[in-house]
Amino acid sequence: MSEVANRRAWAIIVHGGAKPIAPELHQAHRDGCLRALAVGQAVLEAGGSAVVAVEMSVRALEDDATFNAGYGAVRNARGDIELDAAIMDGASLAVGAVAAVKTLRHPISVAATMLSQTPVLLVGDGAEMFGREHDAEFCAPADLLVDRRGDPGCDTVGCVALDSLGNIAAGTSTGGLTGCHPGRVGDSPLPGCGLYADNQVGGVSLSGEGESLIRTTLAARLMHSLESVAPGAAIDAALARLGRVGGEAGLVVIDADGRIGWGHTSAQFAVAYASAGQPPHAFINRDEDPQEDSA
């Protein structure tokens, strides 16, 4: 069968973090998610890969100071910023991840460069050295700080995409948690905790309190459920498991059939999604979205 005959419907979903969002910032979160979505959507509509769509959408979120990733990162207890990011290719199960980096302008792109390399996760100076070896863009840490005007800006951005060849990718990027211990790394760069992608099952990107997501290996639990149930039910099961340790979370999911799901226990969770079958939508709360497991 030709590649064209094998083409399937693409789908993409982005999130801007599971957190309370002040009402005056709702529109900025919707708009930022829609802008990031459009970048990845354009890649998919042109026949590009899920990996590239995820990288490009997360780069757009890293560029938007509305979100705590890249530009807009928060300070740890020492006043430094430390960024984490990861991307996973569901075709090969390759993972690229960086953690506790201070000067990489786009951590998600360095993570994407790692997909073709052996290491899964590089930390701190080693990750920045890898970035220098591969012509990454650098900046001064201070260039990533913004005045958050009362918004704590904690948490993570992410994206899951399914391309027209049936390949799924997932990505995350975070500026960490305000006031956290220097060197602390959360779920975002850890496959099975903050993200996962497998063409045979689906993909997930999470946001929330990293320690809780790590203790419950929430991405892995979601993927396990997704083998037998639809995204909505898999998300409910994953979020119920979080109750064992407490903490808030939000998840965005696309399964291998292109069904989109999302859910959260946080007060708000900014999300935007689109697929070959439906135009872009953006939401701040799951209650706003009438669709269950939209395909």
Catalytic machinery residues: 156
Smallest distance from ligand GLY to CB 85, Å: 11
Site for ligand GLY in 82-111 (CB under 6 A): none
| Binders in 256-275 for ligand GLY, by CB under 6 A | none
**CA gap 207, 54 in Å, rounded:** 16
Query: Could you tell me the smallest distance in angstroms from the CB atom of residue 208 to ligand GLY?
Result: 5
Stretch that binds ligand GLY, among 58-66, 173-181, 240-248, 286-294 (CB under 6 A): 173-181
Cα dihedral value 53, 98, 243, 158, nearest 10: -20
Residue 72 in contact with ligand GLY, rule: CB under 6 A = no
Q: Which of 66, 103, 156, 225 binds ligand GLY (CB under 6 A)?
A: 156
Of 107, 166, 186, 250, the residue at the interface with ligand GLY (CB under 6 A) is: 186
Shortest Cβ 167–ligand GLY spacing (Å): 25
The answer to the question of residue 216 lying near ligand GLY (CB under 6 A) is no
250 interacts with ligand GLY by CB under 6 A:
no
* Residue carrying structure tokens 């073709």: 116
Q: Tokens in use for 224?
A: 């396990």
CB atoms within 10 A of CB 93: 13
CA-based end-to-end distance of the chain: 24
Instruction: Locate 116 and state its tokens.
Output: 């073709």
Q: Which is nearer to ligand GLY, 43 or 85 (CB)?
A: 85
Part in contact with ligand GLY (CB under 6 A); list of ranges 19-27, 86-94, 185-193, 222-230: 185-193
Task: Kindly state the number of chain residues that form the binding site for ligand GLY, as judged by CB under 6 A.
Answer: 12
Among 70, 96, 166, 176, binds ligand GLY (CB under 6 A): 176
Tokens 């903050």 — which residue? Answer: 194
Residues 6+ apart with CB under 8 A from 287: none
When asked if residue 174 is in the footprint of ligand GLY (CB under 6 A), the reply is yes
Told to check if 188 binds ligand GLY by CB under 6 A, we report yes
C-alpha to C-alpha distance for 238 and 217, rounded to whole angstroms: 9
Q: Which helix (H) or strand (E) holds 122?
A: strand 121-123
> Of residues 86, 136, 170, 177, which one binds ligand GLY by CB under 6 A?
177
How many other CB atoms are there within 10 angstroms of residue 85's CB atom? 35
Question: Mask of contacts with ligand GLY, 193-212, x by CB under 6 A?
Answer: --------------xxxx--
**Sign of CA pseudo-dihedral 221, 226, 231, 236:** negative
Distance CA 258, CA 217 (A): 23
Nearer of residues 156 and 217 to ligand GLY, judged by Cβ = 156
- Binding ligand GLY (rule: CB under 6 A), the pick from 64, 82, 128, 155 is 155
In the complex, minimum distance from the CB of residue 81 to ligand GLY, in angstroms, rounded to a whole number? 12
Rounded to whole angstroms, the Cα distance separating 134 from 169 reads 22
Give one word for 170, left, alpha or beta, with left for phi > 0 and alpha for psi -120 to 50: beta
Interaction site with ligand GLY (CB under 6 A): 155-156, 174, 176-177, 186-188, 207-210
